[in-house]
């Protein structure tokens, strides 16, 4: 049986603080004059070679010295190596590797040394130590992926067995190959128990960091292929609701309230509903629930392993959804920018998109466009929802759009009003633009066409007879008031979205309550 999946492991952030005493090697120049111990020529050559090659180049070229097996090594040299280790001049560490011909895993011992107490000598030792452990972890990972076939692991069958609370039937017995290999080390007196334990934990930390394998109690390491995640998630969701939850709740009715509290806790966070896609929301919720249920169901055995695998499958499926969503949005954004920036006609390059119809409510495209310095944009919050208007920031083009809108529209309309608001939002560019008399006249004409109904009668009369000297300030004032009112519409819209999310939260809580009630009523 494999060892616990939740053995001590090191998080990425903890590795920076991982500085055990055995990594603090001493170099020849670290001893006071006359106090440095000396050894036989063979031991001195080993120490010199270890110091010279204990770096990434030495590891890559295979120059780090290998400690031979006891039968090959002179017992007197073994004693001297023990003394070198005791003096802190040498560090002997394992290296797990795969034999090229057979693919079988073996373990060798490497000797590390510190060339100098200066010039980053200890950092070189530390770096090469981690590189060796990573290479061992890679060998274990590749072996375990291959072993999945030898064990006869079929993920859909494994999930079904675990959902029944039964250990899956495997062709071969599960074993902890890394522990077995580290226990095979022959020169046990050269490698401390602390180093062996740290080495073992680091191997599994690096494997978990890659998220290629998932460690379980019942099956050892299991590989979940990315391409199978969506299909497996459908099975996981069905097994969870129709088999696992009913069995666990019937065995322990108190778990029902824990499940409800868990769902409420998961949905209480600000990021609990990151988008408006129902399936992605469900996957996000399940991922967190599965993580907590692993421990609620006892950590060891079939059910915790079901939740371990279910979480990995769900997260991989969610990552796939997010990747596809992001790719689609990038495609939309790139296509949109291409039309706007490279389009032929003038007005065709002033575009609008309805957020909620043309773009998803949670789309990042609108945010990206508003942050793009090559574009001018404005989001108009109307009764039908927000609409994104945009055009390139090209002085000559903006003047042409202004001219064509002024000629085309002599009445209030959203296209013209949104363009005025877009310019008003970018006041520095607007003021520079209307320093041109022609552009100023077009701006006044377009502004009056859209906003005349808000002006007092005498200002309309003055404009009619050609006395439009004060019309610019009137347009600015009215655009300011409209912008202020639209801020209120934006707040109403955001409240509406919050209400939808709250309702969705409540429905998801009611859903789990109804499921549990139906189970307990049987």
- Per the DSSP assignment, residues forming a β-bridge with 375 are 392
Which DSSP symbol is given to 211? T
pLDDT of residue 271: 52
The span from the CA of 79 to the CA of 85, in Å, is: 10
Tens-digit pLDDT string for the chain (522 aa):
444 444 555 555 567 778 888 998 988 777 777 777 888 899 999 999 999 999 889 999 999 999 987 667 788 888 999 999 998 899 999 999 998 888 889 999 999 998 876 766 788 889 999 999 999 999 999 998 888 777 767 888 999 999 999 988 877 677 889 999 999 887 878 999 999 999 999 999 999 888 889 989 888 889 998 999 999 999 999 999 889 888 888 888 888 888 888 888 877 765 556 566 778 888 888 888 898 888 887 778 899 999 999 999 999 999 998 888 888 888 888 888 888 888 888 998 999 888 888 887 777 888 888 889 999 999 999 888 899 999 999 999 999 999 999 998 878 889 999 999 999 999 999 999 989 999 998 998 898 888 877 665 445 555 554 555 567 888 888 899 899 999 999 999 888 888 887 887 788 888 888 877 887 776
H or E stretch covering 163: helix 155-163
pLDDT of residue 445: 87
pLDDT of residue 497: 82
- Three-state DSSP string of 372-438: CCCEEEEEEEECCEEEEEEEECCHHHHHHHHHHHHHHCCCCCHHHHHHHHHHHHCHHHHHHHCCCHH
H or E stretch covering 200: helix 193-210
- Residue spans of the domains in the chain: they are 17-152+181-207, 226-326, 348-498
pLDDT of residue 506: 82
CB 168 within 8 A of CB 157: yes
pLDDT of residue 507: 82
| Six token digits for residue 499 | 């209400």
pLDDT of residue 102: 84
The span from the CA of 239 to the CA of 163, in Å, is: 6
338 φ/ψ angles, rounded to the nearest 5 degrees: -60, -45
Which DSSP symbol is given to 5? T
Determine the straight-line distance between the first and last CA of the chain, rounded to whole angstroms.
37
**What is the value of pTM for the model shown?**
0.74
pLDDT of residue 4: 45
State the Rg of the chain over Cα.
35
């Amino acid at each position: 049986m494999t060892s616990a999946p939740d053995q001590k492991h090191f998080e990425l952030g903890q590795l920076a603080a991982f500085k055990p005493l055995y990594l603090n090697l001493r170099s020849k120049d670290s001893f006071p004059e006359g106090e440095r111990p000396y050894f036989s020529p063979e031991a001195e050559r080993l120490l010199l070679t270890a110091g010279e090659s204990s770096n990434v180049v030495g590891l890559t070229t295979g120059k780090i010295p290998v400690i031979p097996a006891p039968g090959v090594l002179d017992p007197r040299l073994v004693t001297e190596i023990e003394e070198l280790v005791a003096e802190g001049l040498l560090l002997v560490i394992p290296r797990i590797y795969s034999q090229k011909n057979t693919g079988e895993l073996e373990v060798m011992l490497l000797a590390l040394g510190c060339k100098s107490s200066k010039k980053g000598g200890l950092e070189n030792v530390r770096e090469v130590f981690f590189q060796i452990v990573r290479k061992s972890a890679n060998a274990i990972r590749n072996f375990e992926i291959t072993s999945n076939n030898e064990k006869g692991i079929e993920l859909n069958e494994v999930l079904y067995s675990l959902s029944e609370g039964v250990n899956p039937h495997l062709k071969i017995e599960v074993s902890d190959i890394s522990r077995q290999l580290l226990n095979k080390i022959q020169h046990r007196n050269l490698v401390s128990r602390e180093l062996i334990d740290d080495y073992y934990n680091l191997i599994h930390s690096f494997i978990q960091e890659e998220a290629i394998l998932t460690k379980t109690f019942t099956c050892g390491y299991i590989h979940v292929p990315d391409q199978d995640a969506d299909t497996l998630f459908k099975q996981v969701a069905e097994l969870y609701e129709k088999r696992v939850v009913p069995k666990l709740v019937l065995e322990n009715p108190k778990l029902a309230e824990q499940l409800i509290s868990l769902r409420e806790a998961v949905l209480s966070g600000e990021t609990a509903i990151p988008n408006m896609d129902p399936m992605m929301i469900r996957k996000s919720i399940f991922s967190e629930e599965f993580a907590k249920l692993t421990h609620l169901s006892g950590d060891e055995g079939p059910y915790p392993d079901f939740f371990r695998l279910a979480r990995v499958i769900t997260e991989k499926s969610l990552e796939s959804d997010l990747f596809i969503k992001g790719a689609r949005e990038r495609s939309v954004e790139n296509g949109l920018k291409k039309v706007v920036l490279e389009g032929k006609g003038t007005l065709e390059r002033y575009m609008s998109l309805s957020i909620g119809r043309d773009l998803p409510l949670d789309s990042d495209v609108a945010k990206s466009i508003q942050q793009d310095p090559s574009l001018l944009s404005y989001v108009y919050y109307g009764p039908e929802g927000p609409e994104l208007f945009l055009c390139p920031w090209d002085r000559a083009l903006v003047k042409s759009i202004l001219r064509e809108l002024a000629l085309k529209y002599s009445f209030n309309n959203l296209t013209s009003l949104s363009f005025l608001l877009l310019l008003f939002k970018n006041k520095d560019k607007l003021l520079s633009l209307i320093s041109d008399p022609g552009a100023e006249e077009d701006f006044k004409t377009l502004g009056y066409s859209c906003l005349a109904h808000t002006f007092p009668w005498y200002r309309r009369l003055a404009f009619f007879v050609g006395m439009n000297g004060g019309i610019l300030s009137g347009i600015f004032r009215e655009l300011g008031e409209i912008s202020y009112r639209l801020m209120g519409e934006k707040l109403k819209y955001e409240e509406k979205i919050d209400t939808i999310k709250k309702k969705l939260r409540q429905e998801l809580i009611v859903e789990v309550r109804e499921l549990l009630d139906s189970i307990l009523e049987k």
